[in-house]
Chains A and B, each alone.
Chain A
Amino acid sequence: MDAPETVICRLTVNGDRMECAVTPGTTLLEALRYGLGLTGSKQGCDKGDCGACTVLVDGHPVLACISLVLAHEGRGIRTVEGLATKGIPHALQDAFDRTGGAQCGFCTPGVLMSACALLERNDAPTRHEIAEALSGNLCRCTGYTKIFEAVELAASEMRERA
């Protein structure tokens, strides 16, 4: 059978320039998880229905499991591994930990990326705005309540710090 054509893909992930051998059929999620060892982004449905694979591309949340990696050369990719600064958790990460926003934790990396994009354009979102921003991220554990509380807590702390 035909072997898929392998090419080197150059990606900028969390500010780092990285290289990874891929085929044209490799998704961004596969490249991150299996090519670059960035296993923080998760795969839940593998076809764009659940949001566990959400990463930021040029600041906007996208679904890495249905993104073709070769279309992402030259773009700024941010994953959950890139949220903390020098090992200090991002305010969102800290808030999720304190409020119980992560139970099983599998949807959490994706939720965090959607929430991060939200807070970067709206530092005081209403609960409805949070729900809108996270409406593409399915959580099966929390009933979303503690996730909302976590985002609100992080937003208020980030406002205080700013």
Chain B
Amino acid sequence: MPARHGNARAPGCSAMRCEPDVLTLPLYQWLRPTSIDEVLRVLAEHPGECLLVAGGTDAVPNMKHRLHEPRRVVSLGGVRDLHFVREDDAGLHLGPGLTLRELAEHPRVRESLPALARAASLVASPQIRNMGTLGGNLCLDTRCTYYNQTYFWREALGFCLKKDGLLCHVVPQGKRCVAAHSSDVAPMLIALGAQVEIASSTARRTIAVEDFFVGDGVHNNVLVPTEMVTKVWVPAASFGMEMAYQKLRPRGAIDFPMLSVAVAARREGDSIAMVRIVVSALGAKPRVIGQLDALAMGQIPDEALFERVGAVAHKQCHPLTNVPYDHEWRHEMVPVFVRRALRDAFGKA
């Protein structure tokens, strides 16, 4: 065989079976339904055994790490009725099968919900945004520095509360997993008052995105094993709001949020009529900052107010060691990024 620049390839191109790669995937059955009804039927037939995979950017690495070991993988790539953007008087209806790039680049989204487009455009990398979907980002598994590791690493750790173990390494006495909600689009959707439609083979319900999440890092949303997200609806009332999304990450790309702040507000005249601030990458669910009505309603959006709002957020948000970046510093960054998001939203950058 030639040493270096030759065609040092032995047979194998005609290929029998592909040899598994270095991080193998678990054994599972592959299902590729073509409609929502079919997906729901599969979920109903095999409750608790299925993993829905759209772009796979979260699910596949997690399977490689044996964080998910499903009996069945249900590919959503062929489900056309998950892929749509529709607008009516009620607002914008977004299919969970939209890729994050499609969401970020959609003219209606950019025009009416620029901060949502921005949040989607800040997810990971261009490749991930081409693969990952709105629904996938919404249902993103919670993340923790003690959890998003290989099986080997977790074995060396002694595993953790979220998977295979009994102990939480973030809150040692904790009985509840505090892995971090790490979606970029979810905080923005909550701030905008968006709703999510959930379906099973027997029922359909629509709830606020805010209520979609629960404070349990093991499974941080309300979906039961027979359900899936079939639509995200952003009400027309949110169009034209003052809005902004700020993401803190060590690098200009690829990284999950180390802290995220979403702001949506409405102005009447010079003063604030409504403001919602959502901070995430803290614990298992995004935190909607409270006490804002009393503080901000009727106020002029100026530096002094942003300062006070930031201080309130600082008190209410408590970053943990779950996210692999200095938690004390992230705590200090809460008011900074809240102020920056407010400045962006009110055009005072």
Contact = CB atoms under 8 A, between A and B. Distances in A.
Interface of A: 2, 4-7, 20-27, 29-31, 33-37, 39, 43, 46-49, 51, 54, 57, 60-63, 65-68, 70-71, 114, 132-133, 135-136
Given A37-B12, A61-B127, A114-B126, A25 B28 contact: yes
A49 B135 CA distance: 21
Which of the listed residues A22, A27, A36 has the most CB atoms from chain B within 10 Å of its own CB? Answer: A27
Contacts of A63: 57, 127-128, 131
B215 interface: no
B15 A30 contact: no
Which 9 A-B residue pairings sit nearest by Cβ, starting from the closest? Answer: A136-B125, A37-B13, A25-B25, A24-B30, A135-B253, A35-B18, A66-B60, A47-B61, A60-B130
B205 interface: no
B15 A35 contact: yes
Main secondary structure of the interface of B (DSSP, over half): loop
B57 A48 contact: yes
Given A66-B131, A136-B126, 12 more contacts: A25-B28, A26-B20, A30-B18, A34-B12, A35-B15, A46-B22, A46-B23, A47-B65, A61-B130, A66-B61, A133-B126, A135-B252
B56 A2 contact: no
Contacts of A71: 32, 53, 56, 75, 77
A25 B27 contact: yes
B16 interface: yes
Which of the listed residues A4, A30, A71, A136 has the most CB atoms from chain B within 10 Å of its own CB? Answer: A71
B131 A26 contact: no
Given A39-B9, A66-B61, A114-B127, A27 B75 contact: no
A30 B21 contact: yes
